[in-house]
Amino acid sequence: MSTETVEQTPTPITPRSVGTALGRVDGPEKVTGAARYGVEHHGEDGLADPLYAWLVQSTVAKGAVDAVDPAAALAHPGVVAVLDHTSAPRLEDTDDGELAVLQDARVHFRGQVVALVLAESVEAAREGAALVEVGYAAEDHDARFSADGATYRPDSVNPAFDTDSDQGDVDAALEAAAVVVEGEYSTPHEHNNPMEPHATLARWSDGDGDEVLRLVDSTQAVHGVASTVAPLFGLEPGQVRVTAPYVGGGFGSKGMPHASTVAAALAARAVAPRPVSLAVTRQQMFALTGYRTATVSRFRLGADTDGRLTAVEHRAYEQTSAVKEFAEQTAVATRMMYAAPNRRTSHRLAVLDVAVPSWMRAPGEMPGIFAHEVAMDELAEACGLDPVELRLRNEPDVDPESGKPFSIRRLPECLERGAERFGWAERSAQPRSTVDGDWWVGTGVAAATYPGYRMPGNAARVTALEGGRYDVAIGCVDIGTGARTVLTQIAADALAVEPADVDLHIADTSLPSASVAGGSSGTSSWGATVVAAAQAFAAAHGDAPEPGAEVVASADDDPLSGEHVFHSFGAVFAQVRVHRWTGEIRVPRLLGVYSVGRVVNPTTARSQLLGGLVMGLSAALHEESVRDPRFGHVVTQDLASYHVASHADVLDVDAEWLEESDDEFTPMGSRGIGEIGIVGTAAAVANAAYHATGVRVRSLPVTADRFLEVDR
Ligand code: MOS
C-alpha cells in the first residue's frame, strides 16, 4: 500500500525509555556472528552464485592507459572477463571524475581503477588481476603537498560554507595587541580505515522494471547511494534498490559512494543477471575510498594583557585532487569558537594529481580545532594565564560569526567540571617540572565543538500491528553507532509503548528516505522524523488503532532557520608521560566532558564519545599516511604501517556529559555525539606533551623523535 507523506511538526516527547541504557537491540546478532556485512549476503534475494570482481589499479600518477592486454588473465582458470575503458559498459553521466569508472583512458592519480577482472572465485579474480598487463603513456605529475603551493580558492568549503570570512580589522588589531601568538600548525594525511573495508554486491536485472539495479553496499546512506548511482546509469533512484543491514564502521569514508560501488554496478551490468561481489582490499582503500587531506593552519592571535582575544586569524591550506574537488572546512569552527571583535579565516587548496579526499571523522573541526587549541595553549603561556582560565575569559555572549545566540553553550561548565574531576588545580604552571623515574609527566587541556545538524530529506512510516505493537520504518543505516537501538527507544516513547513493542526496520531504500549517517546528524534527523511520524499517526488513528493503520510523515520543523545556533561543546583533559631517554609518549589518562543535548542512551553514547576520544588519541600519537610524491602513492597502505590506536595504546579514557535537553533542536532534546569526541583531543595531548617536556609540537602526530633533541 502506498501512503502519502504528511508534514508534521514534532513536539517534545516525554522521555521514558530515552535516557535509559537499553541494551543494543542488535547485540545478539552481532555477538553470535549472525549479523552479515557487505559481501556476506550471497544466497539472499537472488544474490546467489556471484562472480567475484577484483580491481586493477594504475601504477602511474598521471597520463593515459595505452593498452590493456587481458590475454594472460583470461587464460587463468576461473577468470571470466576483463573490463577496461574500451569494454566496460558506458555510463550516461561522467561528470563526477571519481565515479566515471573505466569510461576513458585518462589516469588522474596513482591507484585509479584501470581494469576489473571477473572470475568464479575471489582467488582467481585476484590472480587474474595480477596478470592483466596495462601499458601507460605517463605524464609528469604533481603529488607534493605544501602550504605555499596551495593557491587555489574554492567557491565554498564542505559542505557549503563561505570560503573566507573577514570581520573587523585583523591587521590593525594585531598591530595594537599587547600579546601576539603566531604559529603554523599541521595535520597529516589520514585514512579513515573503518574495520570493514568497502564492499558491494550488485545484480543487474534484465528489462526495465522497478528494480533494475540491486546493491548491497557497505555505506552510511542507502538512499544517498541510490540517488548518486542511478543517474550514472540513466536510471531513476527508485530503480536502484540498496540495502546495508550491517556496516562495520564508516568514519566518513562511506558517506557517499566511491569508485568501487560504481565498478561493482558496471560489472554486474556487463554480466547481467549474474550478481557480482566486489570487496575492496585494505590496501586499495588507501587510494579509492577517500581520506583526510593534510592541513596547514597559519594562526595569528592577538590579545590584551588579560588574555582577552582582540584578533583571530586562521588561514588554512589543504589539498584537493585534480579529478574532483573536495575542500575541507578546516577554518570554519574558528569563526564561532571564541569572542574576538576582529576575525579572519580563509581556505586555499593545492590541486594535485592524487586520489580524491573526502569526509573523515569530523572533517574541518578536527584539524582546525587542533591548530586553534594548541595556539590557545601558547597564548595562555604568553599571557601567564592558566589555559582553562584563558578559555573562560574568551567566552562569547553570542555566536561571534552570526550574532545569533547559541541554544545552549556550556563550554565553561565542561571546562570547570573536567578541571575538577581531573585534579587540574594541582597542576604546576611550569612546563617540565614533574619527573617520575625516567618519565616526564604533564597535563593539557583543549576545548571541542561540533555543530548540531538536522538533515533534510527524511520520512518515517508507522504501521499498527496486532497486540498494541508497531512497525516503524526509516531507511537510515546503523554503521555501528547504535542507531537501531536509540531509534527503537525514541519510537517507543513517541508511541507511548515499550521498546519491545516496536519492530524497527532500517537500511533499505524500499523504506522511507533517510539522510546520511554523517555529520553527527543521524539521531537528530531520523529521531525527529520518527517522532513526527508517531505523532502524525496518533493524530490520525489515536492510541488504539486498527492493525494495518499506517502513516508516513516527515518533520517540517527547521530549527536551523530559527533564532538560535546549535553547537555541542566539550573539554578534553589529557595526562602525558614522555620517556626522557627514548621520547616514548604515553597517554595514561584522557577525560572528555561534554554538552551534547540529552543523551538518548548512556551506553551507546558513552561508546561514541570514548570512540571519538580514542580516534583523537590515535591522531595525536599514531595516524599518518605517507605519500611518496615521486610516484604519487601512499606507502603506508596497511594497518601495520598505518597504525590506528589499539587496546595497548588506550589506558584510562573516560567521558561524561552534562545533564541538559536541547528542546529547540529536536523533540528528544538531543543534539548529536558522533564526532565531537575526536575534536580537541589531539590538541589536549600535544599541550600535555608540552607541559611534560617543554617541547612545543605543532604538527601531528606527536612522535618520539620530537623529544630527542631536548637538553636534559
Ligand atoms: Mo562523518 S566524517 O560526517 O561521515
Strand partners for 441: 577
Chain centroid to Cα 95, Å, comes to 24
Ligand 1: does its nearest atom lie under 6 Å from the Cβ of 252?
Answer: yes
Contact assessment for residue 31 and residue 489, using Cβ atoms and an 8 Å cutoff? no
Position in ligand 1 atom list of the atom nearest CA 254: 4
Category of 623 on φ-ψ map: left (φ > 0), alpha (ψ -120 to 50) or beta: beta
Question: Residue 3's pLDDT is what?
Answer: 78
In 156-244, where do the E strands start and end?
156-157, 161-162, 165-167, 179-187, 199-204, 213-217, 240-243
Distance in Å, CA 243 to ligand 1 centroid? 19
Domain with CATH 3.90.1170.50 in the chain: 51-140+193-288
Question: Residue 214's pLDDT is what?
Answer: 96
H or E segment and range at residue 277: strand 276-279
Biggest distance spanned by C-alpha atoms of the chain:
79
Q: Which three cell numbers stand for residue 182?
A: 603566531
Pocket test for ligand 1, best of 225, 291, 326, 675 (most atoms within 8 A of CB): 675
Distance in Å, CA 192 to ligand 1 centroid? 10
CATH classification (class only), 51-140+193-288: alpha beta
| 5-35+455-557: in CATH 3.40.50.720 | no
CA 219, 222, 223, 225 dihedral sign is positive
Q: Which three cell numbers stand for residue 528?
A: 525527529
- Put simply, whether the predicted model's pTM sits higher than 0.85 gets the answer yes
| 145-191+292-399: in CATH 3.40.50.1820 | no
Ligand 1: does its nearest atom lie under 6 Å from the Cβ of 360?
Answer: yes
Q: Give every strand in the sheet of 106-107, ordered side by side.
A: 106-107, 63-69, 133-138
Question: Residue 153's pLDDT is what?
Answer: 98
CA 87, 89, 93, 95 dihedral sign is negative
Question: Residue 1's pLDDT is what?
Answer: 46
The DSSP symbol for 516 reads -
Chain centroid to Cα 122, Å, comes to 30
Strand partners for 180: 302
Question: Residue 712's pLDDT is what?
Answer: 67
Instruction: Give me the residue label for grid cell 538512499.
Output: 223
Domain with CATH 3.30.365.10 in the chain: 5-35+455-557, 145-191+292-399, 404-454+558-712
Ligand 1: does its nearest atom lie under 6 Å from the Cβ of 290?
Answer: no
Distance in Å, CA 365 to ligand 1 centroid? 11
Assign domain 404-454+558-712 to its CATH architecture. Answer: 2-Layer Sandwich (3.30)
- Is 381 assigned a catalytic role? no
**Nearest CA residue ID for atom 4, ligand 1:** 252
Distance in Å, CA 8 to ligand 1 centroid? 28
Position in ligand 1 atom list of the atom nearest CA 361: 2
**Nearest CA residue ID for atom 2, ligand 1:** 252
Ligand 1: does its nearest atom lie under 6 Å from the Cβ of 522?
Answer: no
Beta pairing class for 435-436 and 276-279: unpaired
Ligand 1: does its nearest atom lie under 6 Å from the Cβ of 194?
Answer: no
Rounded Cα distance between 231 and 91, Å, is 9
Closest CA to 491 of 461, 460, 534: 534
Q: What are phi and psi of 252, to 5 degrees?
A: 100, -25
Distance in Å, CA 689 to ligand 1 centroid? 28
Contact assessment for residue 29 and residue 102, using Cβ atoms and an 8 Å cutoff? no
Rounded Cα distance between 397 and 126, Å, is 60
How would you class 202 by CB atoms within 10 Å of its CB: exposed for 0-12, middle for 13-18, buried for 19 or more? buried
Closest CA to 348 of 108, 181, 110, 145: 145
Residue ranges in the chain modelled with pLDDT below 70: 1-2, 207-208, 712
